[in-house]
């Protein structure tokens, strides 16, 4: 399947070209005055109401975001896709450390390729596609990745909820090479086992690399609680930094087994780690929180805008439980990955929880973006992960 590239343009309503002139990649259906004949997923030129050329994008009538831009100039769109892939890979190769062989190669709109994620785990690439237009471009993308990166395998794991609006079912499968269930990676010199098929996201939370480094720097001599621990990456970094003891809490048995293997892979004695299969809220309400470094990295509490109120209640309760119990002098590293909760609102939730727990709390550090997760400055919607390092007195 490859996209047709149409010659007849999409015409925007008067005054609705401003966002594209400002290089925002989304076109909402309400901004369109006229559509030519096309099949959903095809690539079309876009013009203003005055006929001024604005670029090329792919379109899907099913979606409220009807169009997503691939370029903002006259460059042929398939050439623009390949140029964006080239820029994305060059950026990673220039900035990332030789002690790391797992990183995000393509970050969707952050790299000018809406709907496309490509993560590299050692010599295996994992592709995640969330839009019909990018599904039709998959053949072009995969060929470019094979020709320029020579991976041993390319696996697709496209299961995001966004695919439903696009009219797409979830898809998982090997696109190239021999399928591998597990891959061993290095991150900042530490070793991890990644399972792209069964793990969360594409197998590993690559977007927390810089914050894991921060944990290693601060963990010496501390008793660390890692809630929503998944495969234990924060705990591994804490022990690498000299933590006295780590406790990992997660509801998933497979995740805790990966965590156990990651601890062993880095030669940390298991008597320094306690693995607890339990809901984090339940654990926090029942356990004596004798920890002086707590890490909260929960899944998104708000996948849709109408879930914000519930997400705020959940986050407030979570932080109140921790802040009410941990000893003075503790550190709390906390995150939200809910796009609909901006940093200001997240900080307000933490403020309310601290007030209810009657604790003095100071903000020491905000989330540091990893180099391989660039945000398009014209597309602030790509900034989904927020985090604070807090000192609790």
229 and 308 together in one domain? yes
Q: What is the mean pLDDT of residues 41-53?
A: 97
58 phi-psi bin (left φ>0, alpha ψ -120 to 50, beta other): beta
Give the pLDDT of residue 270: 87
Q: What pLDDT does residue 299 have?
A: 80
- Cα–Cα distance, 98 to 391 (Å, whole number): 33
- Cα distance between residue 60 and residue 290, in whole Å: 53
* 347 and 224 together in one domain: yes
Shared domain for 330 and 239, answered yes or no, is yes
Residue 300 lies in a domain: yes
Report whether pLDDT(303) > 70: no
Q: What is the pLDDT of residue 225?
A: 97
Q: Give pLDDT tens digits for 242-292.
A: 999 999 999 999 999 999 999 999 999 989 999 999 999 899 988 888 999
SS (H, E, C) the chain: CCCCECCCCEEECCCCCHHHHCCCCEEEHHHEEECCCCCCCCEEEEECCCCCEEEEEEECCCCCEEEEEEECCCCCHHHHHHHHHHHHHHHHHHHCCCCCCEEEEEEHHHHCCCCEEEEEECCEEEEEECCHHHHHCHHHHHHHHHHHHCCCEEEEEECCCHHHHCCCCCEEEEEEECCCCCEEEEECCEEEEECCCCCCCCCCCHHHHHHHHHHHHHCCCCEEEEECCCCCHHHHHHHHCCCCEEEEEECCHHHHHHHHHHHHHCCCCHHHEEEEECCHHHHHHHCCCCCCEEEECCCCCCCCHHHHHHHHHHHHHHHHHHHHHCCCCEEEEEEECCCCCCHHHHHHHHHHHHHHHCCCEEEEEECCCCCCCCCCCCCHHHCCCEEEEEEEC
Burial class of residue 278 in the structure, from the number of CB atoms within 10 Å of its CB (0-12 exposed, 13-18 middle, 19+ buried): middle
Provide the pLDDT for residue 341.
78
The answer to whether residue 120 scores a pLDDT higher than 90 is: yes
Give the burial string for 358-376 (b: 16+ CB within 10 Å, else e): ebebeeeeebebbbbbbbb
Share of the chain above pLDDT 70, in %: 99
**Residue 198 within a domain:** no
One domain, residues 85 and 122: yes
Q: Both 36 and 110 in a single domain?
A: no
Q: Note whether 224 and 371 are same-domain residues.
A: yes
Going by pLDDT thresholds of 50, 70 and 90, the confidence category of residue 302 is: low
- Confirm whether 257 is domain-assigned: yes
> Do both 215 and 345 map to the same domain?
yes
Residue 312 pLDDT: 78
Cα separation, 244 vs 9, in Å, equals 63
Give the domain-ending residue among 127, 153, 184: 184
pLDDT for residue 2: 76
What CATH code is carried by the domain that includes residue 52?
2.30.130.10
pLDDT, tens digit, 9 for 90 and up, residues 362-376: 999 999 889 999 999
Task: Report the percentage of the chain scoring pLDDT > 90.
Answer: 83
Check 63, 174, 227, 337 and give the catalytic one. 337
Q: Both 275 and 142 in a single domain?
A: no
For the ranges 136-150, 243-257, 306-320, which has the lowest average pLDDT?
306-320
Total domains in the fold of the chain: 3
Is residue 310 predicted with pLDDT exceeding 80?
no
User: 44-58, 61-75, 198-212, 336-350 — which is least confidently predicted?
Assistant: 336-350
Identify whether residues 327 and 222 lie together within a single domain. yes
CATH number of residue 147's parent domain: 3.30.750.80
Residue 57 lies inside a defined structural domain of this protein: yes
Neighbours of 11 (CB within 10 A): 19
The domain of 374 spans 205-392
Please report whether residue 196 resides in a domain: no
Q: Are residues 153 and 241 in the same domain?
A: no
Residues 221 and 333 in one domain: yes
Query: CA nearest 325: which of 361, 282, 357?
Result: 357
* Domain boundary pick from 150, 184, 218: 184
Does the structure show a pLDDT above 80 at 180? yes
Q: Is residue 194 part of a domain?
A: no
Q: For position 38, what pLDDT does the model report?
A: 96
Tell me whether residue 97 is in a domain.
yes
Domain boundary among 55, 71, 87: 71
Is residue 337 part of the annotated active site? The answer reads: yes
Residues 307 and 175 both lie in one domain: no
Contacts of residue 345, defined as CB under 8 A and 6 or more positions apart, other chains included, come to 312
What is the pTM (predicted TM-score) of this model? 0.93
Q: 263: domain CATH number?
A: 3.40.50.150
- Is residue 4 one of the residues assigned to a domain? no
């Amino acid at each position: 399947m490859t996209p047709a590239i149409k010659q007849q343009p999409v015409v925007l309503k008067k005054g609705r070209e401003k966002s594209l002139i400002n290089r925002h990649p989304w076109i909402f259906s309400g901004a369109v005055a006229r559509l030519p004949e096309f099949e959903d997923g095809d690539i079309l030129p876009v013009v203003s109401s005055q006929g001024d050329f604005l670029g090329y994008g792919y379109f899907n009538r099913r979606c409220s975001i009807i169009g997503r831009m691939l370029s903002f100039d006259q460059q042929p769109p398939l050439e623009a896709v390949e140029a964006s892939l080239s820029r994305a890979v060059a950026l990673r190769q220039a900035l990332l450390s030789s002690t790391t062989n797992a990183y995000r190669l393509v970050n969707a709109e952050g790299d000018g390729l809406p709907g496309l994620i490509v993560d590299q785990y050692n010599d295996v690439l994992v592709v995640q596609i969330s839009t019909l237009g990018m599904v039709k471009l998959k053949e072009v993308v995969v060929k470019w990745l094979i020709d320029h990166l020579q991976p041993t395998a390319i696996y697709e794991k496209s299961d995001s909820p966004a695919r439903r609006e696009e009219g797409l079912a979830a898809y998982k499968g090997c696109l190239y090479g021999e399928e591998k269930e597990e891959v061993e990676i290095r991150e900042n010199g530490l070793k991890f086992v990644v399972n792209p098929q069964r793990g969360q996201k594409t197998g590993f939370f690559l977007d927390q690399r810089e914050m894991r480094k921060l944990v290693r720097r601060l963990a010496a001599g501390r008793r660390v609680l890692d809630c929503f621990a998944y495969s234990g990456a924060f705990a591994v970094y804490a022990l690498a930094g000299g933590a006295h003891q780590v406790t990992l809490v997660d509801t998933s048995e497979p995740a805790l087994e990966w965590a156990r293997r990651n601890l062993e892979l880095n030669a940390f004695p298991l008597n320094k780690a306690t693995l607890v299969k339990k809901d984090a809220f339940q654990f926090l309400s029942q356990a004596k929180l004798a920890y002086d470094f707590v890490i909260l990295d929960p899944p998104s509490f708000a996948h849709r805008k109408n879930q914000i109120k519930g997400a705020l209640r959940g986050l407030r309760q979570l932080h109140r439980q921790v802040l009410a119990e941990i000893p003075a002098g503790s550190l709390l590293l906390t995150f939200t990955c809910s796009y609909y909760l901006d940093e200001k609102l997240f900080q307000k939730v933490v403020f309310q929880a601290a007030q209810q727990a009657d604790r003095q709390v100071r903000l020491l550090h905000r989330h540091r973006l990893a180099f391989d997760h660039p945000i398009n400055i014209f597309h602030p919607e790509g900034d989904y992960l927020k985090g604070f390092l807090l000192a609790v007195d």
